[in-house]
Amino acid sequence: MKYRMVGVICGLVMILMVTNETFAQRGGGRGGSGGGRRGGPDPAMMERMNALRTFEIEMVWHDLSIRMDTPGAQLMSLRILVKNATAQKQTLIEQAEKSEDWGWLKDQLENSHKQLDKDLMDILSDEDMKTYEKLVKEREKRASEMIGRFRIGRFRR
């Protein structure tokens, strides 16, 4: 009787371990979905994220106001320019969310970014513009390196 009880307990423990492992691999317990997406993230969500990353006006402001040594009077002109670009971006995002047309949003944000760069040329000196472009390239390089690390890390799991 003693050995039967030990055998039953060991059997139950094994069943629970297998069930738990199967449940974990399946992705159970995350909401009511019955598991995570197989094959990667939702394509529509990725398209939206890529569109929103097209024109990171917050990073432009960071480069202009913090990373560059911009004089106060010039900074006020830049602030107005960036504030208007931010409002325009928000309006475009709201329109795209209604239509869920992220390709259109990406195109519009690319145009906004080009226009901002043209407007910056009117405010910044040639030397300041070169400094700004250098900072943008550095930021983009760091971002691509981080994305590369993220992708490599995902496949090592």
DSSP labels for 60-91? HHHIIIIIS---HHHHHHHHHHHHHHHHHHHH
| Per-residue tokens: 132 | 């700004």
- The band of 146, judged by pLDDT with boundaries at 50, 70 and 90, is confident
pLDDT of residue 27: 54
Q: Is residue 36 part of a domain?
A: no
Encoded amino acid at 32, one letter: G
What tens digit of pLDDT does each residue of 31-83 get? 444 445 556 678 888 888 888 888 899 999 999 999 998 888 899 999 999 99
The count of domains in the chain is: 1
Q: Is residue 38 part of a domain?
A: no
Q: Is residue 2 part of a domain?
A: no
Q: Is residue 30 part of a domain?
A: no
Q: Is residue 20 part of a domain?
A: no
Q: Which domain holds residue 117?
A: 43-155
Residue 106 · residue 56 · CB < 8 Å: no
Task: Look at residue 38 and give its three-state secondary structure.
Answer: coil
pTM: predicted TM-score of the whole model, two decimal places: 0.64
Under the phi-then-psi rule, with left for phi > 0, alpha for psi from -120 to 50, and beta for the rest, what region is 100? left
**Tokens 């691999």 map to which residue?**
25
| Per-residue tokens: 33 | 């979905």
What does the buried/exposed string (b/e) look like for 18-27 if buried means 16 or more CB atoms within 10 Å of the residue's CB? eeeeeeeeee
Q: Is residue 91 part of a domain?
A: yes
Q: Is residue 131 part of a domain?
A: yes
- Which H or E element spans position 32? none
